[in-house]
Amino acid sequence: MGGFACDLVLRSVSIPGGRIADISISGGRVKHVGSPLPAEIELDCRGKTVIPGGVDMHVHMRGGIQAHKEDWKSGTMSAVAGGVTVVVDQPNTVPPIMNEEILRQRVIEAGKYSLAGYAINGGVSPSADLNGLWRGGALAFGEIFAAPSSYGDSVSLKDLKVALERIQELGALATIHAEKIAGEPSENLEDHSQKRSVSSEIEAVMEVRGINTAGCRLHFCHMSTAGAVEAAGDATVEVTPHHLFLSLERFSPGDTGGKVNPPLRYESERRKIWTAWDRIDVVASDHAPHTLQEKGQSFQKAPSGIPGVETMVPLLMAEVRKGRIDLVSLIEKTSYRPCDILGIPRAGLSPGDRADFAVYPETMTKIAPELLHSKAGWTPFEGYDAVFPEIVVVDGRIRYREDEFFPGVSGWYGGRGYIGGRHKKNGADTAHS
C-alpha cells in the first residue's frame, strides 16, 4: 500500500442528494466522505453519480452441470457490469442445496470464481436438513416453491407448515415462490399466464400466510401483480424488472423469451404494479439464465426464466433519469432493504460502511445483448433505455471499469446460524460478520 492512508478515492463524484464529494476508501470500508485523503488510486468521477452497490437477493447462478447456462464467473461478471456487488443464489441448483455438505461445496465453488460478494440460500423439502443448512451458513431459506418451476419441486402446504415452524425456531427468513397452477404444459404466453393466473398467485400468498401459524418471517419473491403485493400483508415483498418492464403484449404469443414463472401479465397489470412502488420492499432480478438453444425448443418444452442481473439497476437508473422514480427509492429497493431483510451490512456513504459502489454516467444507452456478460446470450430488454455503470467497486477495490474486469477476492455472506471454520480452507470465502 506504500504508506497511503487509503486504497482508493472516488473524486468529485455526485452523491445521492446532489452534493459533490470525494469518497475515501480503506480496507473495504468507507473512511471519509468530503475532502479526499491520500490514496493509492484516485479516480476522477466528475459529472457522475455514485450509489451503493446493488444487492440482488434473487439470482440463479447455475454452475456445476448447468454451467453451459451460466457459471459463477459469467454470472457475477454480468452482475458487476450491471452495478450489482452482492448476489444471493437460490437453491434449485443441480443437485439442489438440501444439506450442509452440498451447501459447503456451493460456497467453495462460488468462492473460487465469484467477482461479486455472494450468499447461498438453503433449500426446503420434506427431506432437507434445515438445521445443517443453517449451521453451514445458509443466508435464508428458499425460494421455497409453493408451485413447481424450472428445476424446483414444489412443497405441499402441509410440508411447508412444518418447515416454517422449524425455520421460525431457527430465527431465519423463509422466501416463497407463491403460485398455483391449473394444468401444464402451456401452449403460449397467454395460456401460461392463465394457467398461473393473477388470482391464483394471490390465493397462493394467502394460503402460505394462512398456514404460517408459527409466525415465521416471510418474504414473497417476484410478485407479478399489484394485487399479490397487497395480499402479502406484513411480509416483505420483491418484484422483478421483467414484471415491471415487460408485458404479454410486447411478445408474439409463442415467444419463449417471455416464458417465466410467475408469468408476464397484460400491459394493464404491468402498469398497475408500478402503483405499488412505495410498498415494494425489494427489486431483485430472478436472474434465470437459459441458453438460446434451450429457449429455442417448442413453447411447451422451453424452460421458464429470464436473465436480468445485469440490466436491473441500469433499467431503473433510466427511470430515475426520466424522473419517474427517485434515486433514493432505487437505492432502498436494490441495496438497503435487501441488506436489512437478510442481515447483510449495508453499503453506504458513512464512515465504516461497506465500500461497494457503482458509479453511473449521465448518458443513457440502449440495452444490446452483445454487450452483456451472461452466458444466456440474449435479453428480453433489447432496445430498452438503460444507464450502465462505468466504475464498480467491490469490497473497496475497483472490480470493473469501462468494460474491464479486475479480479479479486469477494466475500461470502453467511447467515447468522453459521458456526464457523469450515469454509475457510479455500481462502476466498471467509464469512463477513
Residue in 55, 57, 128, 130 with CA at minimum distance from that of residue 95? 128
In the complex, residue closest to ligand DOR by CB = 305
Query: Residue 355: CB partners within 8 Å, gap ≥ 6?
Result: 8, 25, 28, 29, 30, 347, 393, 395, 396
Q: What are the b/e assignments for 316-347, b being 16+ CB within 10 Å?
A: bbbbbbeeebebebbbbbbbbbbbbbbebebb
Q: Which stretch binds ligand DOR (CB under 6 A): 24-32, 134-142, 144-152, 269-277?
A: 144-152
Site for Zn ion (CB under 5 A): how many residues? 3
Q: Of 22, 89, 286, 353, which is the active-site residue?
A: 286
Toward ligand DOR, which CB reaches closer, 136 or 258?
258
Residue in 153, 139, 146 with CA at minimum distance from that of residue 87? 139
Q: What is the dihedral of CA 100, 105, 106, 107, to 10 degrees?
A: 90
Alpha-helical (H) ranges within 296-360 are 312-321, 327-331, 337-342
Task: Record the cell numbers describing residue 5, joined without a space.
Answer: 492512508
Q: Which stretch binds ligand DOR (CB under 6 A): 298-306, 356-364, 368-376, 416-424?
A: 298-306
Return the one option of Zn ion, ligand DOR, none that residue 304 interacts with (CB less than 5 to 8 A, by type).
ligand DOR
Query: Counting contacts by CB under 6 A, is residue 220 touching ligand DOR?
Result: no
Among residues 177, 196, 217, 337, the one that binds ligand DOR under rule CB under 6 A: 177
Q: Which stretch binds ligand DOR (CB under 6 A): 188-196, 302-310, 358-366, 368-376?
A: 302-310
- DSSP assignment of 238-278: EE-HHHHH--GGGS-TT-GGG--SSPP--HHHHHHHHHTTT
Q: Do 147 and 181 touch, CB atoms closer than 8 A?
A: yes
Phi, psi of 279 (to 5 degrees): -80, -25
Binding mask 283-312 for Zn ion (x = CB under 5 A): ---x--------------------------
User: Taking the complex as a whole, how short is the minimal distance between the CB of residue 43 and Zn ion, in angstroms?
Assistant: 35
Phi, psi of 31 (to 5 degrees): -100, -40
Query: Counting contacts by CB under 6 A, is residue 224 touching ligand DOR?
Result: no
- Which residues between 124 and 183 bind Zn ion (CB under 5 A)? 143, 177
Query: Counting contacts by CB under 6 A, is residue 288 touching ligand DOR?
Result: yes
Residue in 107, 95, 204 with CA at minimum distance from that of residue 418? 107
Return the one option of ligand DOR, Zn ion, none that residue 62 interacts with (CB less than 5 to 8 A, by type).
none
Site for ligand DOR (CB under 6 A): how many residues? 13
Return the one option of Zn ion, ligand DOR, none that residue 305 interacts with (CB less than 5 to 8 A, by type).
ligand DOR
Q: What are the b/e assignments for 152-163, b being 16+ CB within 10 Å?
A: bebbeeebbbbb
Among residues 76, 168, 304, 334, the one that binds ligand DOR under rule CB under 6 A: 304
Binding mask 399-418 for ligand DOR (x = CB under 6 A): --------------------
Return the one option of ligand DOR, Zn ion, none that residue 75 interacts with (CB less than 5 to 8 A, by type).
none
Return the one option of ligand DOR, Zn ion, none that residue 150 interacts with (CB less than 5 to 8 A, by type).
ligand DOR
How far apart (Å, rounded) are the C-alpha atoms in residues 224 and 229? Answer: 8
Query: Counting contacts by CB under 6 A, is residue 92 touching ligand DOR?
Result: yes
Query: Residue 7: CB partners within 8 Å, gap ≥ 6?
Result: 1, 25, 26, 27, 39, 40, 41, 396, 397
Phi, psi of 294 (to 5 degrees): -65, -40
Among residues 118, 151, 336, 384, the one that binds ligand DOR under rule CB under 6 A: 151
Q: Is 340 a catalytic residue?
A: no
Q: Do 123 and 91 touch, CB atoms closer than 8 A?
A: yes
Task: Please report, as a single letter, which amino acid is at residue 265.
Answer: R
Return the one option of Zn ion, ligand DOR, none that residue 92 interacts with (CB less than 5 to 8 A, by type).
ligand DOR
Binding mask 247-266 for ligand DOR (x = CB under 6 A): -------------xx-----
Among residues 26, 78, 149, 154, the one that binds ligand DOR under rule CB under 6 A: 149
Residues taking part in catalysis: 286
The binding site for ligand DOR (CB under 6 A) comprises 60, 92, 149-152, 177, 260-261, 288, 303-305
The binding site for Zn ion (CB under 5 A) comprises 143, 177, 286
